[in-house]
Amino acid sequence: MQRNLLAGLDIGGTKCAVTIGSVIDSRIEILEKKQFPTPPSPEQAIKQLEDMLDHILQALNLSSINAIGISCGGPLDSKRGLILSPPNLPNWDKVDVITPFHEKYGVPVGLQNDANACALAEWKWGAGQGASNMIFLTFGTGMGAGLILNGNLYTGTNDMAGEVGHIRLAEEGPLGYGKFGSFEGFCSGGGIANLAKKMTEAAIHKGKTPSFCPSLEDKEKITAKSVGIAAQNGDPLAIEVYHEVGRKLGRGLAILVDLLNPERIIIGSIYGRQQDILELIVKEELQKESLSISHSVCKVMPSGLGEHVGDFASLSVALHTIEK
Q: What is the pLDDT of residue 2?
A: 75
Q: What is the pLDDT of residue 164?
A: 97
Q: What is the pLDDT of residue 323?
A: 87
Q: Of the candidates 255, 280, 305, which has an alpha carbon nearest to the alpha carbon of residue 138?
A: 305
At 226-235, the pLDDT tens digits run: 999 999 999 9
Please identify every stretch of the chain with a pLDDT value under 70, giving residue numbers as ranges: 1
Q: What is the pLDDT of residue 185?
A: 96
13 touches 89 (CB < 8 A): yes
Q: What is the pLDDT of residue 139?
A: 96
Q: Of the candidates 277, 188, 194, 215, which has an alpha carbon nearest to the alpha carbon of residue 240?
A: 277
Q: What is the pLDDT of residue 23?
A: 93
Q: Decide: pTM greater than 0.85.
A: yes
Q: What is the pLDDT of residue 145?
A: 98
By three-state DSSP, how is residue 299 classified? strand
Q: Of the candidates 95, 97, 45, 91, which has an alpha carbon nearest to the alpha carbon of residue 71?
A: 97
